[in-house]
Amino acid sequence: MNASDQVIAYAEADFSSGDHSFVERLLELIDHFCSTLPPGSLILDLGCGPGNISERLAACLPLSEVIGIDGASSMISMANQKLFCRRPAITNLNYQLVDLSHYCLDDIQDIKGASVIVSNSFLHHLHAPQTLWASVKQLSAPNALMLHRDLRRPSNELEVDALCDRYVSEAPSVLQRDFRASLKAAFTVDEVSEQLELAGLSQFKVKEIGDRYLEVCGWW
Ligand SMILES: C[S@@+](CC[C@H](N)C(=O)[O-])C[C@H]1O[C@@H](n2cnc3c(N)ncnc32)[C@H](O)[C@@H]1O
């Protein structure tokens, strides 16, 4: 996602209610699993895009270190520009340009051992979904907490049309096009469960959320 129209459309779009609910869900999981994160805990936001969720995480969890990772240089530039405007309010957030499909551990040695790894709307963008699960395994500290949310694929074209009408009929054309393509490229709950089993991560739970999302969460 390096095209300038996409970067601008994503940065300007109002995803705030989805971003807010994602962060609320993570706070709920932290509360449920460990009540609080130790100061200095590392949180990774994989496929962070322009950093909308990374910023919220850094603001809500100021004693943690947040790193947003994305493979598109234009996304990382946009994220850094936004962060520059938020400084000095946010000091616990950094971004790194890493293509997770091609990375080798040497490229990102300083970001191993994450206590929390999240992604939003990332899995279906990968050519090989195992990229996400392999990254999770390599970058996590023992007992790391996971939250990954993505679209889920509707079962037929009529459902795709209905979701597009419901959610993006007023959006810029680039977002309408991407939303339709994303719904069709997304995975089902059963497919993600198979990916997790193949990766040796079957302890993670996958479930449907609302009419268009799925969620993977748990401890690794
Ligand atoms: C739909 S955006 C989601 C952005 C952000 N997570 C959010 O919710 O606002 C998907 C992001 O995944 C990134 N991406 C796709 N493939 C990638 C890869 N192999 N490595 C790293 N980032 C990748 C894209 O550049 C894009 O910014």
Q: What is the CATH number of the domain that holds 193?
A: 3.40.50.150
Question: CA dist 220 to 50, 116, 196, Å?
Answer: 27, 10, 11
- Under the banding of pLDDT at 50, 70 and 90, the label for residue 165 is very high
Our answer on whether the CB atom of 72 is closer than 6 Å to any ligand 1 atom is yes
Supply the pLDDT for residue 65: 96
Q: Is 115 in the pocket of ligand 1 (CB under 6 A)?
A: no
CA atoms within 13 A of residue 51's CA, in its CB half-sphere:
27
Q: What is the pLDDT of residues 4-44, one digit of tens each?
A: 776 777 667 677 888 999 999 999 999 988 778 999 999 99
* 163 in a structural domain: no
Asked, for residue 17, whether it belongs to a domain, the answer is yes
Number of domains in the chain: 1
For residue 94, the enclosing domain spans: 4-153+187-219
pLDDT of residue 51: 95
Q: How far is the CA of 205 from the centre of ligand 1 (A)?
A: 22
Average pLDDT over residues 188-199: 97
CB-ligand 1 contact for 135 (6 Å cutoff): no
| 100 in contact with ligand 1, CB cutoff 6 A | yes
Beta bridge partners of 187: 152
Do the domain assignments include residue 168? no
116 — pLDDT class (breaks 50, 70, 90): very high
pLDDT of residue 2: 59
Q: Has residue 169 been placed in a domain?
A: no
Tokens 């706070």 correspond to what residue?
27
123 ligand 1 Cβ < 6 A: no
| 130, part of any domain | yes
125, 133, 139, 149, best to mutate for ligand 1 pocket (most atoms within 8 Å of CB): 125
